[in-house]
Amino acid sequence: MAGPSHDPALYRTRDVVPVRRALVSVSDKTDLLALGEALAAAGVEIVSTGGSATLLREAGHTVTDVSSVTGFPESLDGRVKTLHPSVHAGLLADLRLEDHERQLDELHIAPFELVVVNLYPFVETVRSGAQGDDVVEQIDIGGPAMVRASAKNYANVAIVVSPSSYPAVIEAVRAGGTSLAQRRELAARAFAHTAEYDRAVATWFSEGTLTEEDLPAHLTIKAERLATLRYGENSHQRAAIYTRNGGHGIAQATQLQGKEMSYNNYVDADAALRAAFDMVKPAVAIIKHANPCGIAVTAPNALDPIASAHLRAHECDPVSAYGGVIAANGTVTLKMAENLKDIFTEVIVAPSFEPEALEVFKAKKNLRLLQLPQDWQQERMDVRLVSGGLLLQDADRFPDDIESVAKDWQLVSGERPADDDMTNLIFAWKACRAVKSNAIVLAKGSATVGIGMGQVNRVDSCRLAVERAGDRAAGSVAASDAFFPFADGPQILLDAGISAIIQPGGSVRDDEVIAAAQAANVTMFFTGERHFFH
C-alpha cells in the first residue's frame, strides 16, 4: 500500500532545525553524559527511558520520563515503553506541513527534533553464548521503530544511532540547530544501522548462531565514510576511505602529522602491517607498491631493537625503499627517527612514537605518521569485491605456537638445522606470506636479503630474489609461498648457494625437486600449507 501523497506546494522550507526537545534511549551509554550536558546547557528538554534516564538524572540533569509523555507505564518487563502515539506522532510529524502542525496542537503532542537511540546488544548477547529466550529478549522492537520513524522524517528530526556522531550533533545544537544535509546523512547511517541489526536477527533465526567463525548465509558490511581522498590509485579515479563497524585496523589509525593520506598510502600501510605484525620480536617492514622490499627483526643484543630492525630491513633493498611505507610492530624510537632523517619515506605506521622521535619527524613535514589504535588487531576475515559480488575467506594467519608446529614439518632433504638456522627458516616462512605471489624470500639472520615477487612463474621469482640478494644469497635460506612445479626454480637457488629451502610441497614432481636438493646436500622442509597472496 502506498503512503500518503501531498501537494509539493504545501511544503514549507525547513533547513536548520533548532533542537528544543530530544528523545534519548540508548543501550550503549558511551559519552552519554557529555551529550546530556550539552543538551541541558542548550535548554533542550530531555525525554528518556530506563537506564539512560537514571544516568542523566544522577549527573544532575532534568529528565522527563517517557511514561509521563505517554500517560502509560512501562509494561511487560519493559517490552512496551515507547510504542505509543504520543511518542511516534512527535517523531513522524512533518512540520513543513501546516496540517501536521495543526494536528499535533489538537492532540497536545510536542514534536521531537533530536532522537538518540541505539539498540539492545543482540549480537553481543549471541556471541556470549546465550541461547533461546535470553537471545530473544535482546531483539529490540521499540528502538528500531523509533530509529526508522525518525530517519524517515529526517526533514524535521535528527536521528543519532552512534556515540561517534555526538561531537557533530553537539556542535550543531550549540550553533542553533541541525542542517538538512546533516540530518539526511544521519538518516542514512540510521537505516544502515537497523538493516545490519535485522540481518543479524534473521541470521540467528535461520542458523541459530552468529559466531565469527561461521561463513554467514547473508552478509551485510556496514561502513561509514571517514574521508574523501584526493584521488584513487590514479588521478582520474575518485576515492574515499570508510571505517567498518567494529574495525580496529589501519582505517582507525590516528594521523599525527604529514600530508593527507592517499588511496595508495592506505593500501601500502595495510600491507606493511601484514608483514611486520606477523613477527614476535621487534620487527620492521618496508613496503613499495604493496610488496615488501625489506622485512627484518632486531639483531641479537641490539641496544635499540626497533631501530636495529629498521636498518636491517632497509639493507635488503635500499633503492626500492626510497619513497616506501614503513610499519613497525613496536614503539618508534629516537634512534630509528634519526636513521630515517635522510631517507625519503611516505608513511610510518606504528603502535606508538617516542616524543623525541616526533620532534625529529617535524622537520619532515610531508611525512605521514599513523598511530594504530590501542586495540589494533589483525582481521579474522578477508573480504574482496569482485564484479557482481564479493569473496569472503578466513584471514591467512600463522599460529601463535608456530615453533611447535615447525617440529612437524616434513624434512625431505638434508639434516635438521640448528636452532638459530631453524629460527631463520621460520622467519622466512612468515615473511613469505606478505609477498605477492609467486613469492620467493631469501633470508639471513631473520632479515630478508632478496625478494622475488609478483611474477607469473616461480622461476622468474627465484631469479629476481637471487639477483637482488647478490653475494648475500650464499648461505641464506629460501622460502616459497607455494610448491615448485619443476626442479628448475630450486636449481637457481641451489646454484646461488642457498643453505636450506622451505616450501609447502604437493607437486606431482616433488620427487624431482627433492632429488635436486639432495644432490646439493641442502636441507628442504615441506610444510603442507601454502601462503598465496594475490
Give the position of cell 616434513.
Answer: 410
| Catalytic (active site) residue 289 | yes
Distance, in Å, from the CA atom of 470 to the CA atom of 455, rounded to the nearest integer, reads 19
- Rounded to the nearest angstrom, the gap between the alpha carbon of residue 19 and the centroid of all alpha carbons in its chain is 34
Catalytic: which of 84, 222, 281, 289? 289
Single-letter code of the amino acid located at 157: V
**Longest CA span, the chain:** 97
Write the CB contacts of 78 (distance below 8 Å, at least 6 apart in sequence): 50
Distance, in Å, from the CA atom of 492 to the CA atom of 503, rounded to the nearest integer, reads 15
Catalytic: which of 61, 152, 248, 281? 152
- Let me know how long the chain is: 534
Sign for the pseudo-dihedral over CA of 245, 221, 224, 394: positive
Is it true that the peptide bond before 457 is cis, omega within 30 degrees of 0? no
Dihedral in degrees, nearest 10, Cα atoms 487, 490, 494, 495: 70
Nearest to 500 by CA among 422, 390, 392, 393: 422
- Residue 45 sits at φ, ψ, to 5 deg, of -75, 125
Residue 328, classed as helix, strand or coil, is strand
Distance, in Å, from the CA atom of 323 to the CA atom of 343, rounded to the nearest integer, reads 8
| Catalytic (active site) residue 61 | no
Would you say 337 and 352 are in contact if contact means Cβ atoms under 8 Å apart? no
Nearest to 292 by CA among 317, 257, 311, 312: 317
Residue positions annotated with a catalytic role: 152, 289
